[in-house]
Structure 1
Amino acid sequence: MSVYTPVAVNASGCASPGCECCGREPAYPSDLTDAEWSVLKGEARGVMAQLVAAAGRPMVHDLRAVLDGIGYVTRYGIEWRALPVDFPPHEAVYAFFLRWSRRGLPERLAARLRVLAGRRELPTVGCVDSQTVRAAEMVGAAACGYDAGKKMKGQKRHVVVDTLGLLLCVVVTAASMQDRDGAHPVLALLREKFSTITLVWVDGGYAGRLQV
């Protein structure tokens, strides 16, 4: 389905003028399924209760629609302002994304998914790898570099995931940084976040001294 195709929704229930998020029907591959929402809604509503307690104002928009909006942006890599009109306004979606992230919602959801998969809540094994990407126009020259191996100028993501592929931590550097050098800050962050990690797998690009 084209992202520009209007989606039939029931506009009742949202206090934001012109917003049609309430009663929104799933329309894109990135939208949560009912099964996924049943796993996520408990934690998401718990975080929303914290936000209401802190700000003293309940959320106007439909919570599931907001999460679908975040999923749309992260899956397709678009700008926040390019969200299709059947989602809540992009300003609201981005604001809640920041607030959820600051309260550790992504980490809590990953921990819950590990438990549902029959694993321990805290990981004991990780896997490190990197990816070079072109930097956005607003990224300064000091934060960019040239990756001779990928023949690309931009930035490099040094990522650690668990055995299920769930993200544990990420560090962004200039693309010119060697993997073995980028491993130092990412492993230091991993140790800070998860003292339970006892083993980390890496590929040949990380050959050298990796102790932190």
Structure 2
Amino acid sequence: MRRRRYPSDTTAAEWALIEPLLPVPACQTERGGRPEKHPRRAIVDAIRYVVDNGIKWRAIPHDYGVPWQTVYGFFARWARTGVVACIRDQLRARLRTHRDYAPNPVAIVLDSQTVRAAETASKATRGYDAAKKVNGPKRHLAVDLGGWPVMVMVTPAARTDRDAARELLTRLRLTHPELACAWADRAYAGTQVTWAASFLNLTLAIVSRPPRSRGFVVVPRRWVVERTLSWIMQARRNVRDYERLPQHSEAHLTWATITLMTRNLTREQPQPAQRGTHLAPTGK
């Protein structure tokens, strides 16, 4: 077994959480297939190394013992088949259960973030955000009241929050029928509120900043998702978007939150009150 060398590598406790959530190897299914040549833990560690350090796929250290093409192949396949999102949802449910909450949230918080795109990003992910004056993708996040992501969606930045909200909320309603309430800022106000109530049976509550406030202000409910955005930006691959496919951008964001959740579950880090806002969240 490869020795743990980098901060992004999984510990034994983290791997014990992730391994059962990965799909069964093809060689163990009825359809059959060739046995996998490389250990999955090395592949997961290499993916986490790319996300945490923001390197190119070709620059994966050789000591992982896995060709970069193999690592990228598993990354793309797991993103395409929904494996990464499933791992995220299972870990979130376990975190909520440990705090005596229901496995699935009934209330969420919405927000978006626009980041700059590198020259490798395609037109499918980039667009010009006139409000932020940024050319790149826009990330739409829905988190529970503890800050754990429920859904991540990446669109071109030219698409407004109101337009993206309909797709995001529709997908949330289909995958999480237990949802009853969502909090968001004024970018989601207007016809979206009545549309969500009429067509999705979902209460969309708008939380505004205090009048005449300047700079950063801690806004009730909304601060939770803003804190989550700050967490995922600590993974250097997420500071700027390099992807040609939106689902790959979503996968990088999700892998960053998976690392946070596994570390929280294994109690490797202190609670937020002891260290600051960059650690894993507590709450509903």
Q: Report TM bin, short chain.
A: 0.7 to 0.9
- 1:57-206 alignment, distance < 5 Å: 57-87=34-64, 88-117=66-95, 118=97, 119-141=101-123, 144-206=126-188
Deviations, residues 17-46 of structure 1 (Å, cap 9, x unaligned): xxxxxx2222222111222112112222xx
Deviations, residues 82-127 of structure 1 (Å, cap 9, x unaligned): 2111221111111122333344322332333234321433332222
State TM-score, norm by structure 2: 0.59
Shift in Å, 1:55: 5.1
Shift in Å, 1:64: 0.9
CA distance in 2, matches of 1:55, 1:79: 33
- Specify the alignment match of 1:49 in structure 2: 25
Provide closer, same or farther for how the CA distance between residues 62 and 144 of structure 1 changes in structure 2, counting only shifts above 3 A. Answer: closer
More helix by share: 2
CA distance in 2, matches of 1:112, 1:154: 30
Structure 1: which 5+ residue stretches go unaligned?
A: 1-22
> Identical aligned pairs, as a percentage?
41
Structure 2: which 5+ residue stretches go unaligned?
A: 197-284
State TM-score, norm by structure 1: 0.76
The question of whether the paired residues in 2 share the 8 Å contact of 1:126 and 1:162 is answered with yes
CA distance in 1, matches of 2:76, 2:128: 30
The question of whether the paired residues in 2 share the 8 Å contact of 1:127 and 1:200 is answered with yes
Provide closer, same or farther for how the CA distance between residues 167 and 52 of structure 1 changes in structure 2, counting only shifts above 3 A. Answer: farther
The question of whether the paired residues in 1 share the 8 Å contact of 2:26 and 2:33 is answered with no
